[in-house]
Amino acid sequence: MASPKWLLVRPAALLMMATVWATSAAAQSHSQPRVEISANVGAQTAASKFTASDTVPSNGGETETITVDHGAKTALAFDIGAAVRIVPRLFVGVSYAAAEMKTSGAITASIPHPILFNAPRTVKGSVDGLAHQEQNVHVDVIYALPINAVDVKVMAGPTFFTLKQDFVSGLSITETYPFDTATFAGATTKRSSKSAVGFNAGVDISHSISSQTGIGALIRYSQGDVKFDGADTAQHAVKAGGLEVVAGIRLRF
Amino acid sequence: MLSATTQDAIADSNRLITRMLQASELKSVRVQDDPQIAGRQIQTLQQVYQGIPVEGGSVTLQKSGAVTVSMFGTLFNAISIDTTPAIAPIDAARIIEKAANASIAFGASPTLAIVPSPAGTFALTYKATVAYAITYYVDALTGDIVRIVDEKNYDTGLGTGTLGEPKKMATTLIDSAYRTRDTLRPAGISTYDTGGSSTALDRMLNGANATDSDLASSTTNTWTNGYVVDAHTNTGLTYDYLYRQQNWSGLDGSNRPLSDIVHSGSEARDNAFFIGPPFGPNKNGAMVYGRTSGGVPVTALDIAGHELMHGVTFFSLSSRTGSGFVPIVYTVLGPTSFVFNGTTFACATTTLGGRPFFCSNGRYVLGASHGGAINEALSDMFGTSVEFFFQPAGSGPLKADYLMGEDVTNFGPNRSLTNPAAISITHDNGTIGYPDHVTKMLNYALLVSGGTATNPTSVAFSPVAFSNGNTVFFLNSGSTDGGGVHLNSTVFSHAFYLAIEGGRNATSGLTVAGVGAANRTQIEKVFFRAITQLMPNNANLQTAAAVAIQAAVDLYGAGSPAAQAVTQAMTAVGLR
């Protein structure tokens, strides 16, 4: 019988393998397994777009404001997990999910005039490839509903989000005397990492293909508010999680 | 330093370059066709040491086919350092990002570079540019930051002016200190501080090369020395006015570098002045700003505008006529005698300092420097114009008005364009008002400094002047004001005011329909065209008036409100 030490697979290995999700092993109304391990791959859509705005000291005591509207994308997602039955039909599961998105950001900045007070220039531009990397741990209570040939499990519980997010940290602009206008030339980014606790809820539907293996699909929605420190006293609130649709294998013991 | 333009020098340098290329101490980093001369190429060679670029070590070759036409650059010799870094690039990145409180631009990793020091040693460094275009060099052995270079070449600091007002300071980070070098304005503005040293002032005025260390400096880019702040920023604002309103770039219209000198020594006490080339730092001329006897900087915005406009006058006249205003003395005949302390002094028998007065048929020959008065008037006109461009109209500190120097505490106003007579001229027996009409000009009795009393070969102004039938003595001070260059300027500058605002000349009683404050730009353009395009260098006030009228006709038409206003104004002050 396999040991839960399988859960110690490192994230790098996960990228090759896929996510695993532990589900109830009450397949086809037969005896429920003690442990179920799942590995899934699929897609995750970011929980939402967000806006990050920073105000930083700039020319001659004035402040520069950089506002970036971060987009949301659907990205490849991996999920690996294990569940242990504690009473009939009721499991406790832990899963590790990872997704990385490269989004774009629409930048609007207000750049103070280098010579004159109260004469800011508005600069607009965009930046691509802003990383949004999630590594999430879902802890769930799972209830198994064996229905005919499939196992249906509903789950809910807290999620521990670890999010790495790129933010625009500075702008390059093109400007010439008399500096009444400025144009966007580029942006520099800074990657920040932060953790937060949120929730998740989902449904797993699986079908056994042998006594110890099966295939299944998982739909889960998770969300957490991750707050990053901005360049000033403001914080950037980023929603982690989103809708995850994955499918993969099930190992039951 | 490598500079070769002769065949012998090129041959010598070529041998060096060939040897270095063979030793992989130079590598070609760019070859480009000469955009201006067909058939030529410009090649740049970068010096490297064990494959690592040497900062500042490069040579630019101009080639015509296989023939090298010229080569310029700097190559370092005797480099001998260990090129094995003790810290990793990622550690250098952390050091840089911590020091800069910013991320390295575009995610680039720090790269190795060899940095020469002024002492002739070399350091192995990592370099990386962080956001906002500042490059940091970290010693690759010790982790110390050894150099910071602002790639933007400018910084905008925050200054506090003499009256406590905030001002943006365009400065440059040089050797870890912010210095008063404005590279925002295309001409560049350098504000030098003598620290009150007469020796330093002499050195700069006499055309010596001023150095970065002569610039005022601050470690924080927050400037509290109102003296420096006002001189530096007000010169910048005047540059801006000229560019925006007159389409004119700096002193000469072609962005000749601008230099300010703040000097609190006695040489500039109660004064500010412009000095043209070949004087001034690097022989470019300079605006020199002193302090009042009470220690107040003479650096107000209208004063900076006034001084920089002297430069515009000088350079525009010089470029067209070969010189600034020439010192022609325009003469009139005065009385046969004057009375001083109850004694009558007849021209034919009176001397001063052992020199006779210039007489014609027994009458004092009087003179004034019209060119100087025009020059000062134009500077006052544009000193006030700069105020109106940047300050709200009104009275009191930091308000735009037609007074000169009013923001210098316990010093101004020095002159009024609105009502010249409201400002008093102090003389030995009391005061008179500045003239608002040509009949009230001060004409100075001329002393013979060469030749005879009736046929002098050279004359000088005496401190005895006549104004509107009154004798005015400046014997106590000995002042002649260069023939009344300041004192008589208000005749012409008052016409400028009347042409804008309209009103009645107090002496002639004539009324002028000005173009109105909303159209002041028209009159400013008229007088700017007059001096920069049309004015001869030997003009008297009457000629200057005619030039101004012509400029108005040129710009706005003969029957235009501007042309009418200028014509009426010149008539009102008696110049036509």
Residue A220's pLDDT is 97
Task: Please report which confidence band the pLDDT of residue B118 belongs to, taking 50, 70 and 90 as the band edges.
Answer: low
* pLDDT band per the 50, 70, 90 thresholds, residue B525: very high
- pLDDT per residue as tens digits for the range A164-205: 999 888 888 888 899 999 998 888 788 888 999 999 999 999
Q: Which of B96, B103, B386 to mutate to test the interface with A (most CBs of A within 10 A)?
A: B103
From the list B104, B131, B261, the residue with the least C-alpha distance to A172 is B131
Q: What is the dihedral of CA B451, B453, B455, B457, to 10 degrees?
A: 30
Q: Strands B258-262 and B286-289: what pairing?
A: parallel
Look up the CATH number of the domain holding residue A79.
Answer: 2.40.160.20
Average pLDDT estimate for B87-114: 81
CA dihedral (B303, B304, B305, B308) in degrees, to 10, reads 120
Domain B2-74 sits in CATH 3.10.450: yes
Residue B528 has pLDDT above 70, yes or no: yes
Instruction: Of A189-193, B105-109, B276-280, B505-509, give the lowest mean pLDDT range.
Output: B105-109
Task: Please choose, from the candidates A110, A120, A232, the residue with its C-alpha nearest in 3D space to the C-alpha of residue A171.
Answer: A110
**What is the full DSSP assignment across B379-413?**
HHHHHHHHHHHHS-BSSSTT-B-SEESTTSTTT--
Q: Using CA atoms, how far apart are residues B561 and B368, in angstroms rounded to an integer?
A: 32
For B313-355, how does the pLDDT look when each residue is reduced to its tens digit (9 = 90+)?
999 999 998 888 887 889 999 999 999 999 999 999 999 999 9
Share of chain A above pLDDT 90, in %: 59
Q: Which of B103, B168, B243 sits opposite A59 (nearest CB)?
A: B168
∠ CA B192-B196-B197, rounded to 5°: 90
Handedness of CA B556, B562, B566, B568 (dihedral sign): positive
Chain A contacts of B240, Cβ < 8 Å?
115, 178
As a whole number, mean pLDDT of residues A107-128 equals 94
Of B102, B157, B186, the CB nearest to A170: B102
Q: Please answer yes or no on whether A170 and B103 come within 8 Å at the CB atom.
A: yes
β-pairing, B286-289 vs B181-182, is unpaired
Token output for B508: 């002639």
User: Could you tell me which residues of chain B have a Cβ less than 8 Å from any Cβ in chain A?
Assistant: 102-107, 130-133, 154, 156-158, 166-170, 184-186, 236, 240, 243-244
Residue A64: closest C-alpha in chain B:
B132
Please tell me the predicted confidence (pLDDT) of residue A234: 73
Using 50, 70 and 90 to split pLDDT, how confident is the model at A19? very low
Host H or E run for residue A79: strand A74-87
Strand intervals (E) in B151-208: 155-160, 166-174, 177-179, 181-182, 189-193
> Is there a common fold for B89-150 and B155-299?
no
Say yes or no to pLDDT of B197 above 80. yes
Between CA A7 and CA A2 the distance in angstroms is 11
Q: Please report which helix (H) or strand (E) contains residue B470, including its range.
A: strand B470-473
**Phi and psi, residue B383, nearest 5°:** -65, -45
- Does residue A227 surpass a pLDDT of 80? yes
Structural tokens at position A45: 């859509």
pLDDT for residue A111: 94
Contact list in B for residue A169 (CB cut-off 8 A) is: 102-103, 131
Q: Residue B148: which residues within 8 A CB-CB, separation 6 or more?
A: B134, B135, B136, B137, B173, B176
In this structure, what token pair is assigned to residue A83? 């569940």
Half-sphere exposure (Cβ direction) of B257: Cα atoms closer than 13 Å: 17
Give CA–CA dist B454/B139, Å, rounded.
80
Q: Taking CB atoms and an 8 Å cutoff, what residues of chain A touch B130?
A: 170, 188
Distance from C-alpha of B381 to C-alpha of B497, rounded to nearest angstrom: 8
For residues A138, A139, A145 and A146, what is the CA-based torsion angle, rounded to 10 degrees?
80
Q: Angle CA(B58)–CA(B63)–CA(B67) in degrees, nearest 5?
A: 120
- Is residue B108 very low, low, confident or very high in pLDDT (cuts 50, 70, 90)? low
User: How high is the mean pLDDT of chain A?
Assistant: 85
Q: What is the structure's pLDDT at A10?
A: 36
Could you tell me the end-to-end alpha-carbon distance of chain A, in angstroms, rounded to an integer?
6
Residue B185 φ then ψ, to 5°:
-75, 135
User: What value does the mean pLDDT of chain B take?
Assistant: 91
Residues of B in contact with A116 (CB under 8 A): 168
From the CB of residue B121, how many other CB atoms can be counted at a distance below 10 Å? 12
Distance from the B29 Cα atom to the nearest Cα atom in chain A, whole angstroms = 25
CB contact under 8 A, A170 and B186: no
Question: CA gyration radius for chain A?
Answer: 23
Q: Among A247, A23, A30, which Cα is nearest to A153's?
A: A23
Contact A188 B106 (CB under 8 A): yes
The whole-number pLDDT of residue A3 equals 37
Domain count, chain A: 1
CATH of domain B329-572: 1.10.390.10
**pLDDT exceeds 50 at position B232:** yes
- Interface contact A193, partner B, CB < 8 A: no
Nearest-CA distance A229 → chain B (Å): 14
Is the CB of residue A177 less than 8 Å away from at least one CB of chain B?
Answer: yes
- Report the first-to-last Cα separation within chain B, whole angstroms: 62
pTM: predicted TM-score of the whole model, two decimal places: 0.75
| Percent of chain B whose pLDDT exceeds 70 | 95
* A50 Cα distance to chain centroid: 13
Sign, CA dihedral B542-B547-B552-B553, equals positive
* pLDDT tens-digit readout, B461-493: 999 999 998 999 999 999 999 999 999 999 999
Q: Per-domain residue ranges for chain B?
A: 2-74, 89-150, 155-299, 329-572
Q: Which of 3.10.170.10, 3.10.20.600, 3.40.50.620, 3.40.50.300 is the CATH number of B155-299?
A: 3.10.170.10
Least-confidence region, from B30-34, B204-208, B254-258: B30-34
Between CA B448 and CA A24 the distance in angstroms is: 120
Comparing B526 with A172, which gets the higher pLDDT?
B526
**Contact between chains at B106 and A169 (C-beta distance less than 8 A):** no
* Residue range B234-247: mean pLDDT, rounded: 97
- Predicted confidence (pLDDT) at residue B368 exceeds the cutoff of 60: yes
With bands split at pLDDT 50, 70 and 90, how would you rate the model's confidence at B3?
low
Query: Range of A105's domain?
Result: 4-252
Say if domain B89-150 classifies as CATH 1.10.287.
no
